[in-house]
Every structure is written in C-alpha cells, then in structure tokens.
C-alpha cells in the first residue's frame, strides 16, 4: 500500500510540474483561448512585453475579435533552443495558424514580431 501511495504522489508531482504552462503548447493554448474570449490582461500573462504592448494597442483600437466557441487543436510544435513554433487550428478542417514563442526565465512566452 505504501508503494502505491508513493507512486501516486510521484505521478501527481510530475503532472503538476510539467502541466503548468511549461511547454510551448500549453502557453500557446492559454494565450489564444484567453484572447478568443476577449481576456487581454489574461492573455498578456503568456506573452512577451512587446506582444503585450501590441495587444493593448489592438484592444484600444477595438480590433480584438471575440470568438466564444473557439477550440484549440494542436497540429504540431517544434522547439529549437529558446525558440518554439506552435501550429494549431480552430476547427478540424480549418486553416493552420502559427504562433512563435520564446523562452524567458524558464517560461515560454508568445512573441509577436512587430515587423511581421
């Protein structure tokens, strides 16, 4: 019984450590899901400072679309050092969207380049 409890505790610890926005996929998903609900402040928690400024500007202009039925479907992700790209779509047959991320202080952040 003690071995089962120990195994269960270790499993729970691993899930807690790896599941809390530590992956590019989790960060991208949290970012776009909050953004689709119009939660700019919440989205900014998953974004670089530059991206946060871009979101503030877009919100002040009223160009942040709200899509309450949004569903994040991961297509794939690639990681190269401190940079990552997550590709996702909203619908099974929908267009593929791409999100760039950078790792800052051990956390993945969505990064929108203002030049693109």
pLDDT at 92: 80
How confident is the model over 67-79, as pLDDT tens digits? 888 999 999 999 9
> Residue ranges of the domains in the chain?
27-110
- The predicted-structure confidence for 3-25, as pLDDT tens digits, reads as follows 443 333 433 333 333 344 589 99
How much is the pTM?
A: 0.77
What the block records as the tokens of 101 is 């991320």
Q: Say if domain 27-110 classifies as CATH 3.10.450.50.
A: yes
Q: What letter does residue 95 receive in the DSSP assignment?
A: P
Answer for the pair 73, 92: CB distance below 8 angstroms, yes or no.
yes
- As a whole number of Å, the CA-based R_g of the chain is 17
47-69 confidence digits (pLDDT tens): 999 999 999 999 999 888 888 88
pLDDT score recorded for residue 91:
85
85-98 residue pLDDT tens: 999 999 888 899 99
């Amino acid at each position: 019984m003690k071995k089962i409890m120990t195994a269960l505790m270790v499993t729970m610890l691993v899930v807690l450590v790896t599941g809390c926005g530590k992956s590019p996929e989790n960060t991208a998903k949290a970012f776009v899901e909050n953004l689709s609900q119009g939660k700019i402040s919440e989205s900014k928690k998953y974004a670089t400072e530059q991206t946060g400024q871009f979101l503030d500007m877009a919100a002040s202009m009223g160009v942040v679309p709200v899509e309450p039925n949004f569903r994040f479907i991961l297509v794939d992700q690639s990681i190269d050092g401190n940079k990552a790209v997550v590709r996702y779509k909203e619908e099974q047959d929908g267009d593929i969207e791409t999100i760039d991320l950078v790792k800052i202080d051990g956390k993945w952040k969505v990064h929108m380049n203002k030049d693109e």
